[in-house]
């Protein structure tokens, strides 16, 4: 049996058509007939005659006419299709030989399964052809494209339409979780107290963009989130570090957790302080032994590769808590000559990933140099490189800013400002939040109660 025959079955196609005709004229079975007619398309049938028949049945249905063997024959005669479909005798034979109209649902499901097999086969065959003659397209992108197309085929099999009670039940479940103190089952904390309180946590389908100029603290933001989600909330984190190697990302998270700095570990002049730092690090490392933190430091990953790896890790971990991409413009562009289009595809792909896996996706993003020319250098959304689609797709946008990078005498010395410039669901959260940028992480700070000159200042961020 060849591959084409495997995913085509004339008996199934005939049973579907026969069952539809019988069920449509049976008041008890009409609903199942209407479901089948509305869900099936011509491409679900491999026989050209059967494609003509389903087309005629759909025309009758949408015109509001009754559907049976006689009305179908009349419709096809008027369209000049009856002979090409095998004539009245063929349609009558199909109807006569149908085992049971009550099995229409099962026949339709089988027909859809065969359609899925054909589409998957066609996609894989096209992929094999590309693999055999890749040309200038890298193999990883070809494989990522195949995986994406197969995933799209699977998604198409589900209409996505659900009853309102599904949404109400999800909403009630979330409210019950709030009452029971288990809100974080449905929401995600980022680990920065004032931000979490303002937002009440983040939706598990949020696409969050964190923008900033180099050295402002974007990576520090992401490592703080990683520490909180994995070690406090005990949810798995998948961190794509397209710029820094795994050891640099890891040490930042570990040092902040241990409340030490690299300088303290290397302080040979103060042996006691050095020993204390090493002891703190040793204690904190016990937490990381089983910590659900997974870091991928491959460079120039495409959105297809990131989505493929995220799906794999989502299955492996039983559900990711957050996905972090550091950073968006370092991802592989499909069309480097058209950055707006490429970045738009990436932003849309990451937003769709958040919805698909029901897990927040945080993407760091570089800003344009234009803000360097302004008197007030605090960033706004238009400072995002290729800002249009990013701003459109993002549910939340944070800008990371440190005034002491530009103004050495500022009263905000040692302070990292996290400025929310867009919040789709919590408009009142659009304001600045202030943190101490010490020890490779972000810690809450109350500006009215401390001497800013005493804030430890960590310039590496």
- Report if residue 131 sits inside a domain: no
**Mean pLDDT, to the nearest integer, of 434-446?**
77
Question: What pLDDT shows up at residue 455?
Answer: 42
Write out the DSSP string of 362-405: EEEEEB-GGGGGSSS----GGGBTTHHHHHHH-SEEEEEE-GGG
**Mean pLDDT, to the nearest integer, of 82-86?**
92
Residues 75 and 192 in one domain: no
pLDDT at 368 over 90: no
3-state SS, 308-351, equals HHHHHHHHHHCCCCEEEEECHHHCCCCCCCCHHHHHHHHHHHHH
Residues 422 and 343 in one domain: yes
- Report if residue 135 sits inside a domain: no
- Report if residue 79 sits inside a domain: yes
**Mean pLDDT, to the nearest integer, of 167-174?**
70
- Report if residue 223 sits inside a domain: yes
pLDDT at 283 over 70: yes
Helix, strand, or coil (residue 443): strand
Residues 193 and 107 in one domain: no
Q: Which of 85, 112, 139 delimits the end of a domain?
A: 112
Residues 105 and 243 in one domain: no
- Report if residue 154 sits inside a domain: no
Residues 206 and 89 in one domain: no
Residues 191 and 81 in one domain: no
Residues 323 and 420 in one domain: yes
pLDDT at 405 over 50: yes
pLDDT, one tens digit per residue, over 335-352 is 667 777 778 888 888 888
Average pLDDT of the chain, as a whole number: 81
167: how many CB neighbours lie within 10 A of its CB? 10
- Among 151-155, 353-357, 440-444, the range of highest mean pLDDT: 353-357
**Residue 52 vs residue 285, higher pLDDT:** 52
- Report if residue 412 sits inside a domain: yes
C-alpha–C-alpha distance, residues 301 and 332, integer Å: 5
pLDDT at 227 over 60: yes
**Pick from 159-173, 210-224, 264-278, 433-447: least confident:** 159-173
Give me the CATH number covering residue 55. Answer: 1.10.860.10
Ramachandran assignment for 308, one of left (phi > 0), alpha (psi -120 to 50 degrees), beta (any other): alpha
Question: What pLDDT shows up at residue 89?
Answer: 92
Question: What pLDDT shows up at residue 134?
Answer: 63
pLDDT at 376 over 50: yes
- Report if residue 294 sits inside a domain: yes
**Mean pLDDT, to the nearest integer, of 26-48?**
83
Q: Give me the torsion for CA of 17, 18, 22, 23, rounded to 10°.
A: -40
Helix, strand, or coil (residue 81): coil
Question: What pLDDT shows up at residue 154?
Answer: 56
Residues 447 and 350 in one domain: yes
**Residue 217 vs residue 239, higher pLDDT:** 239
pLDDT band at 150 (very low <50, low <70, confident <90, very high): low
Q: Give me the torsion for CA of 256, 258, 264, 268, rounded to 10°.
A: -150
Question: What pLDDT shows up at residue 162?
Answer: 65
Question: What pLDDT shows up at residue 291?
Answer: 85
- Report if residue 148 sits inside a domain: no
User: Phi/psi at 87 (nearest 5 deg)?
Assistant: 80, 170
Give me the CATH number covering residue 244. Answer: 3.40.50.300
**Pick from 152-161, 182-191, 235-244, 442-451: least confident:** 152-161
**Residue 147 vs residue 252, higher pLDDT:** 252
C-alpha–C-alpha distance, residues 393 and 349, integer Å: 10
pLDDT band at 444 (very low <50, low <70, confident <90, very high): confident
Residue 67: exposed, middle, or buried by beta-carbon count in 10 A (0-12, 13-18, 19+)?
buried
Q: How far is CA 179 from CA 149, 176, 188, 425, in A?
A: 42, 5, 16, 21
Domain of residue 434, residue span: 183-454
* Residue 323 in tokens: 């996905």
Residues 190 and 106 in one domain: no
pLDDT, one tens digit per residue, over 235-250 is 899 999 888 888 888 8
**Mean pLDDT, to the nearest integer, of 136-149?**
71
**Pick from 41-45, 156-160, 376-380, 385-389: least confident:** 156-160
397: CB partners within 8 A, 6+ apart: 208, 209, 210, 211, 381, 384, 391, 420, 421, 422
Q: Which residues pair with 415 in a beta bridge?
A: 436
243: CB partners within 8 A, 6+ apart: 219, 299, 326, 327, 330
- Helices (H) and strands (E) in the chain — how many of each? 17, 11
Residue 289: exposed, middle, or buried by beta-carbon count in 10 A (0-12, 13-18, 19+)?
exposed
**Residue 386 vs residue 258, higher pLDDT:** 258
DSSP designation for 407:
-
Question: What pLDDT shows up at residue 457?
Answer: 40
Residues 259 and 384 in one domain: yes
Q: Which of 112, 131, 152 delimits the end of a domain?
A: 112
Residues 98 and 205 in one domain: no
Question: What pLDDT shows up at residue 325?
Answer: 94
C-alpha–C-alpha distance, residues 289 and 285, integer Å: 7
Give the chain's domain count. 2
Q: Which of 88, 112, 136 delimits the end of a domain?
A: 112
Query: Is beta strand 237-241 parallel, antiparallel or unpaired with respect to 293-296?
Result: parallel
**Mean pLDDT, to the nearest integer, of 46-73?**
88
Question: What pLDDT shows up at residue 245?
Answer: 85
pLDDT at 460 over 50: no
pLDDT band at 185 (very low <50, low <70, confident <90, very high): low
Residues 256 and 107 in one domain: no
**Pick from 76-80, 190-194, 328-332: least confident:** 328-332
Task: Check: CB of residue 53 under 8 Å from CB of residue 72.
Answer: yes
Number of C-alpha atoms within 13 angstroms, CB side, residue 21? 23
């Amino acid at each position: 049996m060849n591959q084409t025959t495997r995913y085509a079955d004339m008996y199934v196609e005939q049973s579907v058509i026969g069952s539809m005709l019988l069920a449509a004229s049976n008041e008890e079975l009409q609903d199942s007939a209407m479901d089948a007619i509305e869900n099936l398309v011509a491409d679900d049938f491999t026989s050209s005659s059967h494609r003509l028949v389903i087309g005629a049945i759909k025309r009758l249905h949408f015109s509001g006419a009754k559907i049976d063997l006689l009305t179908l024959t009349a419709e096809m005669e008027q369209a000049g299709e009856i002979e090409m479909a095998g004539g009245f005798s063929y349609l009558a034979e199909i109807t006569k030989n149908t085992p049971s109209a009550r099995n229409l649902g099962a026949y339709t499901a089988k027909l859809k399964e065969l359609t899925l097999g054909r589409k998957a086969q066609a996609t894989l065959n096209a992929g094999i052809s590309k693999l055999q003659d890749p040309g200038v397209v890298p193999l990883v992108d070809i494989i990522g494209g195949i995986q994406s197309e197969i995933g799209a085929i699977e998604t198409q099999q589900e209409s996505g339409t659900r009853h309102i009670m599904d949404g109400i039940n999800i909403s009630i479940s979330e409210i019950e979780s709030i009452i029971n103190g288990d809100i974080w089952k449905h929401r995600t904390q980022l680990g920065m107290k004032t931000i979490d309180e303002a937002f009440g946590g983040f939706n598990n389908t949020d696409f969050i963009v964190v923008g900033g100029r180099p050295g402002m603290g974007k990576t520090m933001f992401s490592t703080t989130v990683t520490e909180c989600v994995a070690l406090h909330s005990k949810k798995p984190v998948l961190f794509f570090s397209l710029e820094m190697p795994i050891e640099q990302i890891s040490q930042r998270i570990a040092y902040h957790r241990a409340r030490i700095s690299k300088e303290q570990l290397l302080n040979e002049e103060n042996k006691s302080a050095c020993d204390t730092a090493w002891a703190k690090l040793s204690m904190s490392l016990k937490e990381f032994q089983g910590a659900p933190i997974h870091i991928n430091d491959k460079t120039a990953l495409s959105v297809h590769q990131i989505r493929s790896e995220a799906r794999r890790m989502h299955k492996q971990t039983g559900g990711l808590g957050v996905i972090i991409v550091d950073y968006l413009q370092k991802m592989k562009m499909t069309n480097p000559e058209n950055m707006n289009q490429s970045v738009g595809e990436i932003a849309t792909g990451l937003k769709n990933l958040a919805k698909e896996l029901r897990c927040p996706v945080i993407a760091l993003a570089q800003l344009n140099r234009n803000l360097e020319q302004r008197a007030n250098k605090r960033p706004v959304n238009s400072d995002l490189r290729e800002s249009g689609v990013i701003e459109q797709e993002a549910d939340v946008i944070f800008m990371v800013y440190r005034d002491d990078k530009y103004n050495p005498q500022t009263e905000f010395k040692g302070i990292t400002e996290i400025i929310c410039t867009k919040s789709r669901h919590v408009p009142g959260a659009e304001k600045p939040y202030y943190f101490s940028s010490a020890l490779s992480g972000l810690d809450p700070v109350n500006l009215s109660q401390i001497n800013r000159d005493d804030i430890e200042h960590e310039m590496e961020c």
